[in-house]
C-alpha cells in the first residue's frame, strides 16, 4: 500500500477554502483573524484517527470522489497539502474544526490510521479574546456617566418604586371594602379635625372616602394594578438595558401624561400636576438614553 507524503506548506487555495467554510460557523470579525493565524502557525503532527475522533466527523468511504482523488494523488506520488485546524474546547463541548483537509484526513486514515498528518492548528477561543481586547482598546475606556445619566437612572428607579407602591395599593383595594376605607380615614383624621375642624387635607380625604363605592374601588384597583405592574416590568427591562423597553416606557408615560393632563383641565390638582411633570421628565430622559444606546449598538 502506498504511503502518503506531505508538503511543508499548505497550498494557497486552502486558505480561501478554509475561510469559506469557517464563515458558516463564525462571524467575519473572527474568521479573518483565524485565517491570518493559520497562515503564520507552525506545523504540528496528529494521527488521522485522532483528528476524526476530536472533530466528531465520520470517516468517508474510499469511493467518495474527493477521497478517491486524494488516494490517486498518493498513488501517483504527489504531495498532499497539510490540514488546517481550529482547536476545540473541551470545557464547552466544542469539537475540533477541520477548516480544510477533511478528505485528505479520510484518505490518510484508509492508508494508515496511525500515520502522522502535518497540520496547522490555531485556538479560536484565544483569538476571540484577543480580538475583543483589541476592540476595547480601540474604543477606549467607557465614558464616565454624566449628570443626566445619573438623573435618568434615579428617576427610572423612583418610577419603578412608584409602580411597586401602585401595585400594592391595587392589591389592597381588591380586598378592602369602601366602608373599611372610610373608617380608616376617619380614624386617621380625627386628631387633625379635633384641632382644626376646617383642616383642608383632612376634610379632602374624608370627602374622597365618603364618595367611594364598590364599583369605584374595583376600578381603582384595576387601574393601579395595570399601571403599577406595567411600570415595574418596563423599568426592570430598561435597567437591564433591553432596547425595546425604552420606547415602550416612553409610550406608557405619554399615555398617562395625556390622561393626567385631561384630568387637570377638569379638576386642577397640585399633586397631579407634580406627578405629570415628573412623568414628562422621566419620558424625556428615557428617550435620550434610548437614542444614545441605539447609536452605540449600531456603531
pLDDT digits 0-9 by tens, 114-128 = 999 999 999 887 777
CB-CB contact of 296 with 142 (8 Å): no
Q: What is the pLDDT of residues 227-243, one digit of tens each?
A: 788 888 888 888 888 88
Q: Are residues 185 and 292 located together in one domain of the fold? A: yes
Task: For residue 164, give every residue at least 6 positions away whose Cβ sits within 8 Å of its Cβ, in sequence order, or none.
Answer: 228, 232
Q: Can you give the pTM of this predicted structure?
A: 0.47
Provide the pLDDT for residue 137: 42
Q: Are residues 204 and 83 located together in one domain of the fold? A: no
Provide the pLDDT for residue 85: 95
Question: What's the domain range around 274?
Answer: 147-298
Q: Could you tell me which residue, 32 or 221, shows the higher pLDDT?
A: 32
Q: Are residues 44 and 184 located together in one domain of the fold? A: no
Inter-CA distances, 185 with 173, 188, 191, 210, 212, Å: 14, 5, 11, 9, 12
Structural domain count, the chain: 2
Query: Is the pLDDT score of 138 beyond 50?
Result: no
DSSP 96-157: PEEEE-HHHHHHHHHH-TTSEEEEEEE-HHHHHHHHHHHHHHHH-SPPPP-HHHHHHHHHHH
Provide the pLDDT for residue 269: 73
Last residue of a domain, one of 92, 119, 139: 139
Q: Are residues 97 and 162 located together in one domain of the fold? A: no
Provide the pLDDT for residue 217: 73
Least confident of 25-29, 144-148, 157-161, 294-298: 144-148
Last residue of a domain, one of 139, 157, 172: 139
Last residue of a domain, one of 116, 139, 162: 139
Q: Mean pLDDT, the chain, as a whole number?
A: 82
Q: Cα 82 from chain centroid?
A: 40
Provide the pLDDT for residue 134: 46
Least confident of 22-26, 102-106, 150-154: 150-154
Q: Are residues 124 and 165 located together in one domain of the fold? A: no
Q: Are residues 281 and 176 located together in one domain of the fold? A: yes
Q: What is the pLDDT of residues 262-276, one digit of tens each?
A: 888 887 777 778 878
Q: Are residues 131 and 186 located together in one domain of the fold? A: no
Q: Could you tell me which residue, 274 or 107, shows the higher pLDDT?
A: 107
Q: 277 falls in which pLDDT band (50, 70, 90)?
A: confident
Least confident of 86-90, 106-110, 155-159, 169-173: 169-173
Q: What is the pLDDT of residues 45-89, one digit of tens each?
A: 999 999 999 999 999 999 999 999 999 999 999 999 999 999 988
Q: Are residues 93 and 119 located together in one domain of the fold? A: yes
Q: Are residues 157 and 268 located together in one domain of the fold? A: yes
Q: Are residues 271 and 152 located together in one domain of the fold? A: yes
Q: Could you tell me which residue, 207 or 257, shows the higher pLDDT?
A: 257
Provide the pLDDT for residue 91: 82
Provide the pLDDT for residue 210: 65
Q: Are residues 287 and 179 located together in one domain of the fold? A: yes
Q: Are residues 162 and 287 located together in one domain of the fold? A: yes
Task: For residue 232, give every residue at least 6 positions away whose Cβ sits within 8 Å of its Cβ, in sequence order, or none.
Answer: 160, 163, 164, 167
Amino acid at each position: 500500500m502506498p504511503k502518503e507524503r506531505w508538503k511543508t506548506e499548505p497550498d494557497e487555495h486552502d486558505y480561501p477554502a478554509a475561510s469559506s467554510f469557517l464563515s458558516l460557523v463564525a462571524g467575519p470579525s473572527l474568521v479573518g483573524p483565524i485565517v491570518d493565524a493559520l497562515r503564520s502557525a507552525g506545523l504540528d503532527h496528529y494521527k488521522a484517527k485522532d483528528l476524526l475522533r476530536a472533530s466528531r466527523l465520520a470517516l468517508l468511504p474510499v469511493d467518495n470522489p474527493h477521497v478517491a482523488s486524494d488516494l490517486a494523488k498518493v498513488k501517483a506520488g504527489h504531495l498532499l497539502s497539510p490540514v488546517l485546524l481550529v482547536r476545540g474546547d473541551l470545557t464547552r463541548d466544542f469539537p475540533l474544526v477541520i477548516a480544510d483537509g477533511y478528505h485528505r484526513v479520510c484518505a490518510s486514515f484508509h492508508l494508515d490510521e496511525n500515520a502522522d498528518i502535518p497540520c496547522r492548528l490555531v485556538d479560536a477561543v484565544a483569538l476571540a479574546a484577543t480580538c475583543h481586547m483589541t476592540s476595547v482598546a480601540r474604543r477606549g475606556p467607557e465614558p464616565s456617566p454624566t449628570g443626566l445619566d445619573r438623573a435618568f437612572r434615579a428617576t427610572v428607579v423612583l418610577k419603578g418604586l412608584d409602580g411597586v407602591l401602585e401595585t400594592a395599593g391595587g392589591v389592597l383595594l381588591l380586598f378592602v371594602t369602601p366602608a373599611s376605607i372610610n373608617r380608616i380615614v376617619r380614624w386617621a383624621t380625627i386628631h387633625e379635625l379635633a384641632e382644626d375642624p376646617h383642616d383642608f387635607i383632612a376634610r379632602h380625604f374624608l370627602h374622597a372616602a365618603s364618595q367611594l363605592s364598590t364599583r369605584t374601588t374595583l376600578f381603582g384597583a384595576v387601574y393601579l394594578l395595570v399601571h403599577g405592574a406595567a411600570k415595574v416590568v418596563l423599568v426592570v427591562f430598561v435597567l437591564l438595558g433591553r432596547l425595546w423597553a425604552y420606547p415602550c416606557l416612553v409610550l406608557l408615560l405619554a399615555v398617562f401624561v395625556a390622561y393626567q393632563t385631561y384630568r387637570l383641565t377638569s379638576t386642577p390638582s397640585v399633586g397631579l400636576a407634580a406627578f405629570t411633570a415628573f412623568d414628562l421628565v422621566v419620558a424625556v430622559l428615557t428617550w435620550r438614553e434610548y437614542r444614545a444606546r441605539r447609536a452605540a449598538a449600531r456603531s
